[in-house]
Structure 1
């Protein structure tokens, strides 16, 4: 049986960073990334915006440890089901790829389970979130460590074990994970229903630009703050991806900004994953 980290924080109350560090490190033996991060891929720890997390109940939110053959090590495996939907059996899946200064152990602190419950309460078709710790390799393989293969093969298999509907999978990531979800989709576009990328850490000359045409026909939505260092590159990438939609607003490369746009992304993801999602016209994620 996989080791499970108890997430016993009550509705309306967030686990503080100290508790996440203690539980993620001591209980699981897996450390959370510290402050010495790649500046270009920072996860906004200087401006967290926790007050923007909806004050709604959690559903079934779990943090377990799984052995990843692709990464050659145990990894944290996170799942969240919206409140009122039991253990999530039969629900489609959004795979979550984190940025460089985060791990899956941070997802409860980021309020993902509460954003999910809030989305469903607003009428978004229900889905589950699932993610695992991928290190800082830009979700690219490096020697025997292959977080991309973990995301493409092992994450769906772990989700299927839980009874989730892995015939309907979408992708969501931010910063380094935003780059990661785009690359994952470019390599197997038929495997996914949609891609949502927040402030993807991309640069001209990246493979993500060269393979952008492979995303034709796949609903892709990009978000980026105008004060973000990746803003110009994201604008250029939008033009390379056939049919991509994008939203640009005031904001930097921070969790505060990402928390403001998470509701719009969950609306986009939930509707594209719904049974009628393939026939639903892709709309702009928000005002430009």
Structure 2
């Protein structure tokens, strides 16, 4: 876990070269990024220069230090948190940085029952977490997810969803043209397929259906869309854009599986939820 703060330096994350007087040479001190699971806590509290220290390692699973390349251990996973409420003392993540995250998951307020449970547990010693998986088992799960098959129709559905963010009018969404400055990158298509494979595996299937892609699309796409000033001025949020995309872009029907179900209610109701 790395607590991101305004005074953090890139070397505090990736590592640096240290002069050893005893041996009269530079040694490489690897940073805390060389772990299996990295939690970047409140990542938007550090400036963009520090956030960008994660670009190489998230994309290539390696860090370049002192002219040498050092691979991080496998598996390597990065999760980040950010507080969307505070606006002072925070720095927005660059588009290239956001694009490297597979998903953006929104954590809402707890329900009344959940909040009651939080209060009841307050002050009680929390239970110790038990390890559910070792690194070998996680690697095998990743390999199993990669082996999940994707038919051409489902793959084309993922491509169409991403293409619709770049050229909405072509997909029957002319009302979204003024709201989108930039659509999702090809990483989004890769993310839709990868997340769809993982979800299919969790649902105990060896193949992806359009419903899997449909279900992961909001989490995969919401942080990759760049909204225009018109959308901000009119109060149109990314959830509304996603609702329009998912309710308009047609999903193919795959034999043996039902077609992807549309959001409940109209687009505005789904976006508000």
Scaled by the length of structure 1, what TM-score is found?
A: 0.27
Please state which structure has a larger fraction of its residues in strand.
1
Asked which structure has the greater CA Rg, the reply is 2
Please state which structure has a larger fraction of its residues in helix.
2
Q: Greater relative contact order: 1 or 2 (C-alpha under 8 angstroms, separation 6 or more)?
A: 1
Scaled by the length of structure 2, what TM-score is found?
A: 0.29
